[in-house]
């Protein structure tokens, strides 16, 4: 499974736990580190759940943005001469929103 992207706070916490694990490792091979491993697992599990939630919502938002562009294109194609400038502006706005949404989806890993 691919590691989910951690927030700054989660990264700092994991780094602190790894540092503590290293310090305990210097004490000897028989030193118990299971508690720190569980804490790291809990952080990564929470990040994975957050990523799944955000991905599901982003997929819906992306489809909504694509649908808005399709509606705006249809409005432009069916607009009469007086409504055409407003329809072009609406299409441009919808395409801009779609690009922003696609960029956010790529950043999220979709």
Q: pTM of this prediction?
A: 0.70
Q: Which pLDDT score is estimated for 16?
A: 96
Phi, psi of 71, rounded to the nearest 5 degrees: -65, -45
| pLDDT given for residue 57 in this prediction | 95
Residue 39, pLDDT score? 96
Distance CA 107, CA 110 (A): 8
Instruction: For the chain, give every domain's residue range.
Output: 8-108
Give the pLDDT of residue 3.
76
Profile the chain (110 residues) by mean pLDDT over runs of 10 residues. Answer: 83 96 88 93 94 93 96 94 94 96 89
pLDDT at 5: 85
Q: How far apart are CA 1 and CA 44, in angstroms?
A: 11
Q: How many CA atoms lie within 13 A of 17 on its CB side?
A: 18
Longest dimension (CA), the chain: 81
Give the pLDDT score at 110. 80
Nearest to 76 by CA among 57, 100, 95, 58: 95
């Amino acid at each position: 499974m691919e590691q989910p992207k951690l927030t700054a706070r989660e990264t700092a916490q994991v780094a602190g736990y790894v540092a503590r694990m290293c310090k305990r490792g210097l004490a000897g091979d028989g030193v118990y580190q299971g508690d720190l491993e569980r804490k790291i697992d809990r952080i990564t599990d929470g990040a994975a759940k957050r990523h799944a939630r955000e991905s599901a919502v982003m997929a819906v938002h992306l489809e909504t943005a694509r649908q808005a562009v399709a509606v705006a294109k249809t409005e432009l194609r069916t607009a009469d001469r007086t409504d055409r400038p407003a329809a072009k502006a609406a299409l441009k706005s919808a395409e801009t929103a779609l690009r922003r949404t696609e960029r956010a989806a790529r950043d999220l890993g979709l």
